[in-house]
Amino acid sequence: FFHTEAVVIIYIIQFLLVLSSIFFRNSSDWGLLIGYASFCVIALAFFYYTEKLDYKVKRYDLIDNVFKGKLRVLKERGILIRVCFQTVEWGTPLLVLFSVFLPDSIPKDFSLISVPFFVFLVISALFKREWFGASVRLTVYFLIPYILYLGEVNTAGWMPREWMKVYNVGFGVLAFFVIFTLKFTRRTKGFKLSPMDFLILFIVLAVSSLPDQRIQSYHLGMLASKIIVFFFTCEVLIGELRGELNRLGVATLIATSAITLRGLF
């Protein structure tokens, strides 16, 4: 296998293992132990005999020349990165704006807190452009998590359940294109994922999935996922745009002003 093919296979196996843990979560401990031990034995035996027999996977022209060849052309011409990045560049501001109007109401105290952020955004946009990226990042990190929380626990009555599902799926789509943006980008600088990022992601999702009634009542699993997607997306955008935060900056300004006005009036 090529490296990319091996990585895909590993991810598929990991996904199946996680899926099996969900389906068999009510099984006995001994049953789970025997099942996973059997999987390990089969995997080790497979690796041992394939290496001993010097087994080679048969290659097919349909996959190597047609499918992978066309993907290689798209990657070399920069088509994939343009599609992925433009989806992220347009999708993130739209989700930010939609999230601000999703809560049924915004507390007045929170609106007052958003005023300094709005002032900082305006000053940096008009007089200190080199501060604008930091002001956008600061605003997103401080205000968006609570807005997402309000959207989960105090959803507006005009929001149909079907639209809410589409809204939630939008975060998954955004995360998908963010990952591919990082994969296909040709920039040597900017945001880069590290093993520590995946560790933080795992801890947050694991804690939010604990079978505690108080945790489940606040929808922390979905909320944590949305916050993480927003944070990583903003970091990728700020790194890729090199300070030219036109769409994200305007969306953040509008969102902050909407938070202020909705809470005060």
State phi, psi for 103 to the nearest 5 degrees.
Answer: -65, 145
For 58-85, what is each residue's pLDDT tens digit? 766 655 565 555 556 556 666 777 888 8
Residue 218 lies in a domain: yes
- If asked whether residues 184 and 142 sit together in one domain, one would say yes
pLDDT by residue (tens digit) across 100-132? 999 999 999 999 999 999 999 999 988 888 888
Question: Can you tell me the distance from the alpha carbon of 3 to that of 254, in angstroms, rounded to the nearest whole number?
Answer: 44
Question: Do 44 and 143 share a structural domain?
Answer: no
**First vs last Cα of the chain: how many Å apart?**
61
Q: Give the separation between CA 261 and CA 257, rounded to whole angstroms.
A: 6
Residue 144 has pLDDT above 80, yes or no: yes
* Mean pLDDT of the region 186-193: 63
Residue 52 included in any domain: yes
- At residue 207, the pLDDT reads 53
Rounded to the nearest integer, the mean pLDDT of the chain is 79
- Give 227 or 195, the one with higher predicted confidence: 227
- 179 with 216, same domain: the answer is yes
In a domain, 86, yes or no: yes
Both 231 and 106 in one domain: the answer is yes
- Residue 69 lies inside a defined structural domain of this protein: no
Q: Are residues 80 and 183 in the same domain?
A: yes
Q: Are residues 259 and 129 part of one domain?
A: yes
Sole residue written with tokens 């099996």 = 20
Assigned domain for 112 exists:
yes
Q: How many whole angstroms separate alpha carbon 62 and alpha carbon 68?
A: 9
Q: 40 lies in a domain? A: yes
Question: Can you give the residue range of the structural domain that contains 37?
Answer: 1-57
Q: In the predicted model, what is the mean pLDDT of residues 193-208? A: 57
- 257 and 126 in a common domain: yes
One domain for residues 124 and 12: no
Same structural domain for residues 40 and 83? no
Please give the residue that has the higher pLDDT: either 11 or 163: 163
Q: Which pLDDT value is given to residue 244?
A: 73
Domains held by the chain: number: 2
Rounded Cα distance, 229 and 175, in Å: 6
pLDDT band, very low/low/confident/very high, at 264 (cuts 50, 70, 90): confident
Highest mean pLDDT (candidates 60-64, 88-92, 174-178)? 88-92
Report the alpha-carbon distance of residue 95 to residue 22 in Å, rounded: 30
Q: What is the pLDDT of residue 61?
A: 62
Do residue 17 and residue 129 come from a single domain?
no
Q: Which residue has the higher pLDDT, 10 or 33?
A: 33
Residues 95 and 53 in one domain: no
Asked if pLDDT for residue 41 goes beyond 90, the answer is yes
